[in-house]
Amino acid sequence: MGEPNVQFTNEQLKRYKRNILLDGVGAVGQAKLLQSRVLVVGAGGLGSPVSYYLAAAGIGHIGLVDGDQVDLSNLQRQIMHTTPDLGRPKIESARQKLTALNPDVQVTGYGHWLNEQNFREIIALYDLVVDGTDNFAARFLINQACVEKRKPYIFGGVLGYTGQAMTILPGQGPCLACIFRGSPPEGAPSSDKMGVLGAVPGIIGAVEAAEAVKVILGIGEPLRGRLLTFDALSMQFFTVDISRDPSCPVCGGVLS
């Protein structure tokens, strides 16, 4: 992306003061955030906190992919949407909330889901992709395109009282297909059947947003090769080390 060149207004200096004070961010890092482009796939339980925190941090351009409308059943966990938004496309509801939070942020909405025809073109426009989906078919598309185009991908998932997150940096560690070879079998547990505690996607979404900011700024230790799992019932986090699979059908050949 090159060395950022942003002249801050007085309002921006006040808005981002707590960011700029941080070691590893500063004015240069904040300028980098303002010039970055992040794609969030899904504007629901995970996408809501992810998008809110990215907008608050000053990510200059947020792309949102979601083909759904706001439903009453969403409001238990999808905090970007409110009761008056029922029936609205989620990307319209999300754009309104994010630009109200931070007018610096440009929001591009894609009112459809990623598919075999469009996913590579959309992902190519962004520096980094964050997973806010609820199905593995979409995640496999994201993973495939991010590996091919060497784009960082922040994976997240929730079910019941638990959630997971991992940061995928193509060429620097395992990809999603190194862990999961295929979608869960028909009849496998899902949030539609098991439910999900509303705060869990909030916690995992916040982790994903923090990982995205770290990767953009090149600071800290991202969850590369480490699958983070959170259990709300025991209130414990633990990580499992994941190695790259040389025979992985996605990254094994592309990155060898």
With a cut of 70, say whether residue 32 has pLDDT above it. yes
- The DSSP letter of residue 44 is S
Say yes or no: domain 36-254 is CATH 3.40.50.720: yes
CA 61 → CA 76, 185, 214, distances in Å? 27, 36, 17
Average pLDDT over residues 119-134: 96
The percentage of residues in the chain with a pLDDT greater than 70, rounded to a whole number, is 94
- Digit-coded pLDDT (tens) for 239-254: 999 999 999 999 987 6
Read off the pLDDT of each residue in 154-169 and give the average, rounded to a whole number.
97
pLDDT in tens, 39-48: 999 999 999 9
- Which pLDDT band holds residue 224 (cuts at 50, 70, 90)? very high
Rounded percentage of the chain residues whose pLDDT exceeds 90: 88
Residue 8 has pLDDT above 70, yes or no: yes
- Residues 153 and 171: their CA atoms lie apart, in Å, by 12
Q: What does the alpha-carbon distance between residue 21 and residue 36 come to, in Å, rounded to a whole number?
A: 20
What strands, in cross-sheet order, belong to the sheet with 61-65?
106-110, 61-65, 37-41, 128-131, 153-159, 162-168, 226-231, 236-241
Does the structure show a pLDDT above 80 at 130? yes
Distance CA 49, CA 174 (A): 26
- pLDDT computed for residue 238 by the predictor: 97
